[in-house]
Amino acid sequence: MTNNHVSPREKSIVFIGFMGVGKTTIGKLVAQKLYRTFIDIDEEIEKEYGMPTQQIFQKIGEKAFREKEKSLIQKFCTQKLKIISVGGGAFLQKEIRDICLTNCTVIALDISWDSWKERLNVIIDSRPVLQGRSMEEIEELFYKRQEIYSAHNSKLVTDNLNVEEIADYITDSLKVAWEIYS
Ligand SMILES: Nc1ncnc2c1ncn2[C@@H]1O[C@H](COP(=O)(O)OP(=O)(O)OP(=O)(O)O)[C@@H](O)[C@H]1O
Ligand SMILES: O=C(O)C1=C[C@@H](O)[C@@H](O)[C@H](O)C1
Ligand SMILES: [Mg+2]
């Protein structure tokens, strides 16, 4: 089942990008502004296992996390009118990239390394992939991951923008695009 036949206005929107770039925060705000249901795939995985991501990685392992991530993305991305934030590692899987790009409008949130590194302290405790790595290793991962986020329909560089400005910009741009294609 795909929903690649649905109109751009009805397609679900998927936010991608590196850990901590703001997918969950912005996705929630955009959903409010468009009166749509918000789905955070990390939260859905945590609900299924009844524990935080950190513990899923420790007790069950990353492989099971990634399988669950794929099946939940398949479930929600084939539905209409949702606003979906996927985890920062979701686009590592080609199948996930294909599901999202076939069924949804994919928006990549981008940020420079200099701005991102200011955020590390806030997010590190809940992101197992960042733990036990040196700053140099995290920087290497940050740049390596850029390749997977290049598979998108549109991209916004968020440096120097607050969350309201980002959500307003995305909401307004979507409405303009929907008018053009309607
Ligand atoms: N534009 C912004 N300016 C300042 N802080 C921001 C901005 N966007 C997000 N943040 C903050 O950065 C932190 C990480 O944001 P968020 O959890 O939304 O990231 P994420 O992309 O969903 O990460 P993950 O991939 O790990 O789920 C939060 O504390 C959030 O408040
Ligand atoms: O970038 C990643 O690999 C991850 C990002 C988070 O959103 C979670 O999905 C998890 O911590 C893994
Ligand atoms: Mg998130």
SS (H, E, C) 60-94: HCHHHHHHHHHHHHHHHHCCCCEEEECCCCHHHCH
**Domain extent at residue 128:** 13-176
Residue length, the chain? 182
Using a 6 Å cutoff on CB, does residue 42 contact ligand 1?
Answer: yes
Q: Does residue 5 fall inside a structural domain?
A: no
- Categorize the per-residue pLDDT at 5 as very low, low, confident or very high, splitting at 50, 70 and 90: confident
Q: Does residue 4 fall inside a structural domain?
A: no
Domain count, the chain: 1
Instruction: List pLDDT tens digits, range 117-159.
Output: 999 999 999 999 999 999 999 999 999 999 999 999 999 999 9
* Residue numbers belonging to the annotated binding site: 20-25, 42, 66, 88, 127, 145
Q: Does residue 7 fall inside a structural domain?
A: no
Instruction: List pLDDT tens digits, range 37-85.
Output: 999 999 999 999 999 999 999 999 999 999 999 999 999 999 999 999 9
Quote the Cα angle for 90-94-100, to 5°: 65
- Which residues, listed in sequence order, are joined to residue 37 by a DSSP beta bridge? 82
Q: Does residue 90 fall inside a structural domain?
A: yes
Q: Give, for ligand 2, the residue of 14, 16, 19, 72 to mutate: max count of ligand atoms closer than 8 Å to Cβ.
A: 19
CA of 71 to the centre of ligand 2 (A): 16
Q: Does residue 20 fall inside a structural domain?
A: yes
Extract the tokens encoding 64.
């099971």
Q: Does residue 8 fall inside a structural domain?
A: no
CATH number at residue 111: 3.40.50.300
Compute the distance between CA of residue 2 and CA of residue 67 in angstroms, rounded to an integer: 19
Q: Does residue 50 fall inside a structural domain?
A: yes
Extract the tokens encoding 138.
């995290």
